[in-house]
Structure 1
Amino acid sequence: MRLMIAQTAPQRAQIPHNLDELEALCLQAKEAQVDLLALPELALTGYLIFDRLDALAEPLDGPLLTEVARLARHYGLHLIIGVAERTTDGIYNSAVLLDDQGTLLGCYRKMQLWADEHGVFTPGEAPLVVDTRLGRIGLMICYDNEFPEVSRALAQQGAELIISPTANMVPNAKRQQLQITCRALDNQVFVACINRSGQEDHLQFCGNSLVAGPDGEVLAQLAEQPASAILDLDLSRCQKSRKAQDYLRDLHPRLKIS
């Protein structure tokens, strides 16, 4: 699988601008023969939109995701991107996975809400792993990275690659790297954290997006500014890393998800 992580600096509430940036990244990804393009948390609206959610949040069949699906189909890419999802039950901080035909394969709703998110978003209820032609992909979002239980649940459901759209802030870059490499090593899977860059009011985002392999090694890492990285992942390495010791197999039965 050829993965492209795109560390963007979306402009708050400027959806047309952010969509233009997405399309430019799609073109770059297509030219590089990328299979899967992944962007940060709330990448189309900006993060600090809590006072504007009523205007910015949309259902999955709304015009914003319809346009994202068109881009996925037009450029022949699988896409993962963070969105503010409106439902009859509330508004969720979500990550969607679309295939290269623009079909919505899955929508994960962030379970571990952070700080002021509790006042505006509804927490998700379940982990999500999607079986795609590229491999089994699990989703988590930002603060989920800091809870080992989330990635462990995804690994027990068969995830080979965990993608985490993120909006993590200064001074958390070193902690982010430690957590992502640990999530990969503990579960013997690939983990990609796509953090954002830039600033919104008092929030300075720290970038430093990274991809870690199933032995905990850093395969790619960006700096603080907007950038992207493309790398080829051999998902069979997940099984190879379990030859010496297999943490999921050896996990005590009381800790396993039935």
Structure 2
Amino acid sequence: MPVTIGAVAAHFGRDLDRALAKVEGIVVDARAAGCDVVVLPDAALGGYLDDLRTPSGPPPALRPDSEELRRVARFAGDTVVCLGYAEAADDGSGRIYNAAVCLTGDGVLGHHRKVHLPAGESRVYAPGDAFRAFDTPVGRLGLLIDYDKTFPEAARAMALDGARVLACLSAWPASVTDRAERLVHDRQARLFDLYDCARAAENQVVWASSNQTGSLGSLRFLGQAKVVGPGGDVLARTSTKGGLAVATVDVDGEVARARRTLHHLDELSRSAYAPGRHP
């Protein structure tokens, strides 16, 4: 069955009310464009950090059962919506996680806490500890959050758990040490695109990559949202500015076609990666 996926490039700041109104508008527009799945950026509710060297503080932290997320579920309706936010731990520890949720009007379908924290984030966020796929109305799906996609094992773990669509939500900035005059020439822009295509092709899955745009504090975000097929081919993409990359994909058919001759997951020699087998 064909699935229409929309990957979003957009700017979100600290104002939660404004962010919620913007998310609702994007979801409504994406649904009008025929999208069954809408993948919004990391930190869509509350914004990302303002600096990676010395962040001034965390975004507003939400509980998983917060009214803000319940509101998103209400206007999501039958649309599968993925978005990121800062999550307050529910154990009284005061920890905050960089988190993503996938939901519809029926409630939460899946959840992820960012595992790999780059410099700066570890001063604000606690790390997650797992990669798990989950079932949705459009098939089995997995969530990652920006720096997670730098590590091949993250996407592979969810592909092995049956995910055929991987949604990677990002607040991926331009290089903070070697700034390019134009974002499209930035070293991080090249890596962002490279990881998107490589992870889709390695795992022979459909990949939806969202990202923030604009600036927050000292950070400039790259945009470049895209949908990538299981052969690593970009099916739709945005520029460095805000936009919606829309692609209709027969997920099961395209994944089966990609795996017909070379099936990377079946042909993986797992015993070679056993503990103690490497120097």
Distance in 1 between the 2:85 and 2:164 partners? 23
Structure 1 position 127 matched with structure 2 position 128 = no
Distance in 1 between the 2:102 and 2:202 partners? 24
Aligned to 2:85: 83
Structure 1 position 196 matched with structure 2 position 212 = yes
Aligned to 1:240: 257
Aligned to 1:36: 37
Matched residue of 2:12: which SS? coil
Distance in 2 between the 1:113 and 1:188 partners? 26
Equivalent positions of 1:106-125 (< 5 A) are: 106-125=110-129
Q: TM-score, normalised by structure 2?
A: 0.86
Give the conservation status (yes or no) of the 8 Å contact 2:166–2:206. Answer: yes
Q: Per-residue deviation at 1:253?
A: 2.5
Structure 1 position 249 matched with structure 2 position 266 = yes
With over 3 angstroms needed to count, the CA separation of the structure-2 counterparts of 1:255 and 1:164, relative to structure 1, is: farther
Give the conservation status (yes or no) of the 8 Å contact 1:156–1:256. Answer: no
Give the conservation status (yes or no) of the 8 Å contact 1:71–1:102. Answer: no
Q: 2:98 aligns with which of 83, 93, 96?
A: 93
| Misfit runs of 4+, over 6 Å | none
Distance in 2 between the 1:52 and 1:119 partners? 9
Moved more, 161-170 or 246-255: 246-255
Task: Render the CA deviation track for 1:185-227: whole Å, top value 9, x for unaligned.
Answer: 1111111110110001110111111221111111112110111
Aligned to 1:64: 68
Give the conservation status (yes or no) of the 8 Å contact 1:72–1:102. Answer: no
Give the unaligned 5+ runs of structure 2.
175-185, 275-279
Percent identity over the alignment is 33
Distance in 1 between the 2:33 and 2:62 partners? 31
Q: TM-score, normalised by structure 1?
A: 0.93
Q: Per-residue deviation at 1:52?
A: 4.3
Q: Per-residue deviation at 1:30?
A: 2.3
Q: Per-residue deviation at 1:176?
A: 0.9
Distance in 2 between the 1:189 and 1:152 partners? 10
Structure whose CA Rg is larger:
2
Give the conservation status (yes or no) of the 8 Å contact 1:206–1:224. Answer: yes
Query: How many residues are matched?
Result: 252
Distance in 2 between the 1:77 and 1:6 partners? 14
Give the unaligned 5+ runs of structure 1.
none
Return the letter of the residue paired with 2:114: K
Q: Per-residue deviation at 1:255?
A: 5.8
Aligned to 1:213: 229
Aligned to 2:182: none
Distance in 2 between the 1:108 and 1:97 partners? 9
Give the conservation status (yes or no) of the 8 Å contact 1:151–1:187. Answer: yes
Distance in 2 between the 1:255 and 1:40 partners? 36
Give the conservation status (yes or no) of the 8 Å contact 2:237–2:246. Answer: no
Aligned to 2:108: 104
Return the letter of the residue paired with 1:83: Y
Distance in 2 between the 1:232 and 1:219 partners? 9
